[in-house]
Structure 1
Amino acid sequence: MRVGFVLGEMFAGLRRNITMTLSVVLVTMVSLFFFGAGLLVQQQVSILKGDWYDRVQVSIFLCGEDSPAEACPEGAITASQRDALRAQLQADPLVDEVFYESQADAFRNFQQMYDTSITANVTTEQLPESFRVRLTDPSRYQEVTAEFVDAAGVEDVPDQRAILEPLFTVLGTATQIALGLAALMLLCSVMLVSTTIRLTAFSRRRETTIMRLVGASRALIQLPFVLEGVIASLLGGLLASAALWAMVHFGVARLRARPGFTTRLIDTHDVLWQTAPLILAVGLVFAIGASLFSLRRWLKV
C-alpha cells in the first residue's frame, strides 16, 4: 500500500472540506467534553461516597431525663447500663473505636456548630449523651444499628448515611444528565462525520471509480476517507481533553487549595491518565465506525 498516496488523498480531502472538517472537530470536542465531564462527575461521586461514608460514625444516643417515654420506658440510662453498653460495643468485631460524648461535650460541640441565636435557647440537659462508633467495615453499619437500637438505655441509633443519600442522589442524577447529553452529542458527531465522509466520497466518486477499475483494493480507496474522520475526531478529542484539564486545574484545584478543605477531589492526573485516553478511544471508534458505514454505499462500483 502506498503510504504517500493515502496521506496525500487524506490531506486533499481535509483541505477541500475545511468547513465541514472544522464542524466535525468542534462537535466532537463538545460531545467528548460532555462525555468526559460525566465520567469525572461519576468518579468524584464514587470518591465522595468512599470518603464521606468512611468518616461517618454510628451515633448511639442514650436515654436521658428528657427522652420520650416510648423510646426510653425505663427512664434515663443508668451507670451500669452505660458500662454494659460500652463493653458490648468494644467487644463487637465490627467496631473499631468507641468514643463517649457526655451531655457537656455535646453542648460544647453544639455551641461550636450553631449561632448563638440558636444555642441560647438550648441547655446542657436537653442534649443526650452518646457513644460515637467507628466501624471496621463502614458498609456493614446496618448490622450495628440493628444490634444496638433496642439495647437497654438506648434512645435512638440514627442512620447518618441517610443524610448523605439525597446529596448523592442529586450528584448521580447530574451524572446521568451529563452522560445523556454526551450520548446525544456523540450521536450528532457520528452523523456529522458520516455526512462529511459521504459528501467527500460523492465529490470524488469519479476518481474512486477509476481506481477500482484499474485494480485498486477497497482498503486503499477507503483508507483516506477513514483517516479524514479519524484525524478530525482525534483533534476534537484532544481539544476536549485540554478543556477538561483546564477545568480541573483552574477550577477544582482552587477548592482543594482552600484552608481546612480535606475532601479528596479529582485532579489533573485523573484527567490525563483515566478520562482523556478513554474519550480519545471513544472518539476514534466512533469515527472509524461512522466512516466505514458511510462508505459502504458510496464506494460501490
Structure 2
Amino acid sequence: MRLQFILAEIGHGLRRNLSMSISVVLVTFVSLTFVGAAGLLQMQIDTMKGEWYDRVQVSIFLCPDFSDVPSCAGGEATPEQIEAIRAELEGEGLAPYVERVYFETKEQAFESFQDLYGDNSTFAAVTVDQMQASFRVALVDPSQYEVVSETFQGRTGVETVEDQRELLEPLILLLNRSSLVAAGLAAVMLLAAVLLITTTIRLSAMSRRRETGIMRLVGASNLFIQLPFMLEGAIAATIGAAMSIAGLWFGVTYLIEDWLAGSIRFVNFIQADAVWTVAPLLVVVAIGLAAISSVVTLSRYTKV
C-alpha cells in the first residue's frame, strides 16, 4: 500500500511539473555528456601515450656534406665515426638504457622518403645524396632520452640528436587541454543541473504543501513524506544519464570507429566498449545530483 502510494505521488509530481522534469532530463543529459566525453578523451590520451611512447625512438642524425653545424666541420660522417657511435650504442655503458639500435643508410632514408612523398612533384628533385644516415635508438625507458642526448650531442660526425617525444608532446598537450575544457564545461553544466533539480523539487514540494501537511498530521515520517520528491529528481536525472550514455555510445561508434578510425589509421582509437567503462560513473553522478538537490531543498520545503 505504501509503495503504491509513493509511486502514485511520483507520477503525479512528474505530470504536474512535466516541463521542469523535461528540463532536468535535458540539462542532466548535456552535463553528463560533457563528463563522459572528458573521461573518454582522457582514456584516449592514456591509450596514445601508452602506444606511442612505447614506440618512441631517439634519432641520431649523422653529418651530411652540406651541414654548417660545428660538429660537422669535417664533412660527411666517416665509416670510422659511424662504427664508433655504433659500438658505444651497443656497449655495456648504455646497455641499461638502450633496448635496440637500428642504422638507416642514406639509401634506406631515400626509400622511406619516396614512400611518403614520391607522388608529390615538389620533392621530385630530391636525391639520395641529400638524405642523412642515422641511428634509430629504442630506449628501455623513453623518459631517459637525456642519457643518449648528452652522450652524442656535439660529437664529431653527429649533426643532431632528436627525441621523437618532442613531436608528440604538442598533440598530447592539446588533447589534455581539450580534456580540461570538457571537464570545466561539465562542472558548469553539473551546477546548472543541481540548481534546476533543486528548483523542480522545490516547486513540486510547494504545490503539495496541503498533502504534505495532512500526511504529517496522520503521523507520516519525514522519509515517507520526502521520498516521492527525492525519487522524482532521481528518475529524471537517471533518464538524463541513460540518454548521455546512449549519445556517447553512438558518438564513439559512428564518429570514431566508423569515421576517424577509417581516416586516420596510425592512431589506435578507443572502442565503443570504453563507454561502458564510464557509464556507471555517469549513473552515480546523476543519482548524486538528485541526492544533493534533495538534501538542499526538502529539509526546508516539506516542513509544515
TM-score range with shorter-chain normalisation? over 0.9
What is the aligned partner in structure 2 of residue 94 from structure 1?
97
Alpha-carbon offset, residue 288 of structure 1? 0.9
- SS of 2:67's equivalent? coil
What is the aligned partner in structure 2 of residue 21 from structure 1?
21
Of stretches 70-79 and 19-28 in structure 1, the one that deviates more from structure 2 is: 70-79
- 1:194 maps to which of 188, 195, 198: 198
How many Å separate the matches in 2 of 1:264 and 1:255?
A: 13
- Give aligned-pair identity as a percent: 48
One-letter amino acid of the structure 2 residue matched with residue 106 of structure 1: A
**2:57–2:163 Cα contact (<8 Å) kept:** no
One-letter amino acid of the structure 1 residue matched with residue 114 of structure 2: Q
Return the TM-score normalized by structure 2.
0.91
Output one character per residue of 1:50-87: Cα deviation in whole Å (capped at 9) or x when no partner.
Answer: 22222222110012322224132444322222112112
Assess, with a 3 A threshold, how the Cα gap between structure 1 residues 173 and 232 changes in structure 2: closer, same or farther: same
Output one character per residue of 1:215-240: Cα deviation in whole Å (capped at 9) or x when no partner.
Answer: 22111111111110000000000011
Any unmatched runs of 5+ in structure 1?
Answer: none
**1:110–1:119 Cα contact (<8 Å) kept:** no
One-letter amino acid of the structure 1 residue matched with residue 21 of structure 2: T
Alpha-carbon offset, residue 139 of structure 1? 2.7
Output one character per residue of 1:19-67: Cα deviation in whole Å (capped at 9) or x when no partner.
Answer: 2111111111111112111211121122112222222221100123222
2:284 is aligned with 1:281: yes
Output one character per residue of 1:174-197: Cα deviation in whole Å (capped at 9) or x when no partner.
Answer: 222222221121111111100000
Matches within 5 A, 1:1-301: 2-91=2-91, 92=94, 93-114=96-117, 115-255=119-259, 258=262, 261-272=265-276, 274-301=277-304
Return the TM-score normalized by structure 1.
0.92
**1:255–1:261 Cα contact (<8 Å) kept:** no
Any unmatched runs of 5+ in structure 2?
Answer: none
How many Å separate the matches in 1 of 2:127 and 2:249?
A: 51
Name the count of aligned residue pairs.
300
One-letter amino acid of the structure 2 residue matched with residue 229 of structure 1: G
- SS of 1:132's equivalent? strand
How many Å separate the matches in 1 of 2:77 and 2:163?
A: 21
- SS of 2:72's equivalent? coil
Aligned Cα root-mean-square deviation (Å): 2.0
Alpha-carbon offset, residue 204 of structure 1? 0.7
